[in-house]
Structure 1
């Protein structure tokens, strides 16, 4: 077949959304797609900076052990670049972690996470992706629909946003963030361009929590994608602080976990670049942080332990208080019902309660599985897409089950699993947590599971289970 006889879009992949999940997916397809088009509604800042299109970006983020392993596998040398830019490697033993059962035991940890602000992570990944000649960017552009039929997606409809009437600075004013998918001031009044089509052999949905792809699939006549939805009603309030000299936290980071049902508030302190801390406070439904500085201080005072409040006593704020309402956790089962030529990654596929720190890592898992399936099949055709959907569903299953099981502990959570099996799981996990407060063998195993390095079945290994049951 000559190039003129090829089907429209053959060899082209379109990625909807140029956030972390979309960038990683685009990078994963290099060498398998002749042309990769990343459609991003924002315009990327020249330097590492918070973006209006990433409202969750102002809150505490980390890349779990399994996540930075996957990132390094896909982008060799990226961890060194991140640490050179100020990201910190925080060993699990350097986290002062108050679980529902008490303080985690000390042990010589092998597990560690990377901690930095989202702009640093996003910028370095973007810089790496821009080195690939086959990847092009349509910035300031919306995807407004899909091409194709109920049987196959064959491309996207796009429209340029045009020059923005408000500045980025103006869009960041205010102490509370907006709901996912709601318009920001900086893009609400954009001048709109003409709608045009981009034909593609593969379309990747990386549009995040607010993705419109399910709605567009319905317009094509597709049957609804099966989904699970669990909503703990979590809300966030975060602030950056300059790290005060001489403060001893007993570690690099602090995590004061919730305890159901009587302590639905949590707080986390992470070290980030430029000698700063990022502090995120959160509460489940009915215990949400109130807006502004007063609400932040009130929530801080209501945490289970005063460690975080005392650590911030001499800390100078490095920014204003920012709020965020993530919305419900949603897991879309595209592996069960999906037209050909479409794959969802990151939050567009599975959205988790962010208090468990899984989102970035699972997004990187999605990209890794996408590349592995493209490698197996040597291209981006329908067989690759089908297998990628199944692999992504498998990679996100354990994180989803773990987060939903914890959300189910709170009576105000809607859509959560229930029943005798869940109660049994809770009782066993309570014993594991109690063991993790005193036995390093249990602590290490628990950290491996939470770091997504090992499956939950690790907790049933004889050495771990024996220590749990002896306790």
Structure 2
């Protein structure tokens, strides 16, 4: 054992995966570990461009209001830097037209907003900040190929270089990316001992398999799969256009119209448009499939916005795979914490993933500060708190996914049906009552718990409606 309960470890922390979840996790541990090593299979580009290790990066992304608050707490001034890099501030009401399953939401004096930019801009600014920390080092072009330790404790990782070439910056997006796995490199395998190992390797994490190889029990998990598929494209914003709003979100109307579309303003005077469909209504590939899916949305507003817009890139598809919540707080060896999509993967249509990853970074910093280092007590507390901060997002997304008839897995029963009926009433109230709309946005932005929708004033407005 490399650390003890009485002397918390302040040695090495290894982060598997150098995507957004990994780099903010590394940043969160600064000051509590003498050495923090981020192992990333890609080589970072010099400029903010799309890269193969983040296949979801070409699609519309949201950092919810709660996520921006978390990011600013972790990296003071970062939101101002995003705005300077071209991110657009979009108020959740007024700037955003939102068509829910019940109809268009009414405007109100919104207190919340989000900054809209492409994923590479967000990733590059965060990475640049993390690189200013001397205790954090990056192993680029390197695979993690296994864990060190036993069924009782993880004590480090096994790594292997993938080669010296930079490799393509653009890759297939038919499946989710990962920063772990066996890869194609033929370098020598070497060990990196560590007091703490953070798995931030994303949707296709290999850590559950490696834990089995160490003799650990299988990690309990929940799964829900609505069969969502994406297609996205960048457009030049037509000169002089003034729509009176900046963004539009056309939600699905389960179960009969399982298609959605979103348009967000991004840097470079462009729009990013992402279309999605659940199982049985997936977008067809290519430009023709994009145009066809656009015409099948339940409202023509998005199609009308793009009538005069010129494409600024190719159509890109993405298959996220199922939603998975892994319960490491119930079963995990000492010295391991799993964060981001490697711990909880949500249907991307709800825009929760980045924000929950930032919550996980806050957890790491909070628990390391509580125990004064990165020892086993820190890891145990962090596993419990990661589960807690992801619970609400999972509950909301999985409960919505099961509305679609082709969904597999997920919650069921009378309580879920009761939740659906009440939320339907809330959404109807949000089409005409500003107080209901504001409460709904607070919950969806993860700044308020779902109980906010049961505040007496909201319940009264819903019942009156």
Name the Cα RMSD after superposition. Answer: 1.7
Q: Distance in 2 between matches of 1:294 and 1:410?
A: 26
* Cα separation, partners in 2 of 1:189 and 1:20, compared to 1, 3 Å: closer
Counterpart position of 2:257? 263
Instruction: State TM-score, norm by structure 1.
Output: 0.95
Paired residues for 1:170-209 under 5 Å? 171-172=170-171, 177-181=173-177, 190-209=184-203
Q: 1:356-395 alignment to 2 at 5 Å?
A: 356-395=350-389
Unaligned runs of at least 5 residues, structure 2: none
CA offset at residue 247 of structure 1? 3.0
Alpha carbons of structure 1 residues 244 and 88: separation in structure 2 relative to 1, 3 Å: same
Post-superposition shift, 1:463? 1.0
1:417 to partner: Cα distance = 1.1
> Structure 1: 5+ residue runs without aligned partners?
none
CA distance in 1, matches of 2:183, 2:69: 41
- Preserved CA contact (<8 Å) 2:55 2:177: no
Offset from partner CA, 1:196-247 (integer Å, 9 cap, x none): 0000000000000010000000000000110001000000000000001233
Q: Please show how residues 132-171 of structure 1 align to structure 2 within 5 Å.
A: 132-164=133-165, 167-168=167-168, 171=170
Q: In structure 1, how many angstroms separate the alpha carbons of the residues matched to 2:143 and 2:191?
A: 12
Q: Is the 8 A contact 2:144 2:182 kept in 1?
A: no
The alignment status of 1:347 with 2:341, answered yes or no, reads yes
Deviations 1:251-282 (A, max 9, x none): 11000000011110000000000110000000
Residues 365-444 of structure 1 mapped to structure 2, 5 A cutoff: 365-444=359-438
CA contact (8 A) 1:14 1:36 kept: yes
Shift of 1:163: 2.8
CA contact (8 A) 2:17 2:178 kept: no
Deviations 1:1-58 (A, max 9, x none): xx9xxx9x96100000000000000000000000000000000001111110000000
Q: Which residue of 2 aligns with 1:338?
A: 332
Q: Secondary structure at the match of 1:62?
A: coil
The partner residue of 2:292 within 294, 298, 301 is 298
Alignment counterpart, residue 463 of structure 1, candidates 446, 457, 461: 457
2:317 paired with 1:316 = no
Which range moved further: 238-247 or 127-136?
238-247
Measure the CA separation in 1 of the matches of 2:244 and 2:414: 39
User: SS at the partner of 2:275?
Assistant: strand
1:445 pairs with 2:439: yes
In structure 1, distance between residues paired with 2:283 and 2:13: 42
- How far apart, CA to CA, are the structure 2 residues paired with 1:181 and 1:312? 30
How far apart, CA to CA, are the structure 1 residues paired with 2:112 and 2:330? Answer: 34
TM-score of the two chains, using structure 2 as the length reference? 0.96
Structure 1 stretches (4+) deviating beyond 4 angstroms?
A: 187-191
How far apart, in 2, do the equivalents of 1:37 and 1:397 lie?
Answer: 28
C-alpha separation in 1, matches of 2:126 and 2:158: 26
Q: What does residue 115 of structure 2 align with?
A: 114
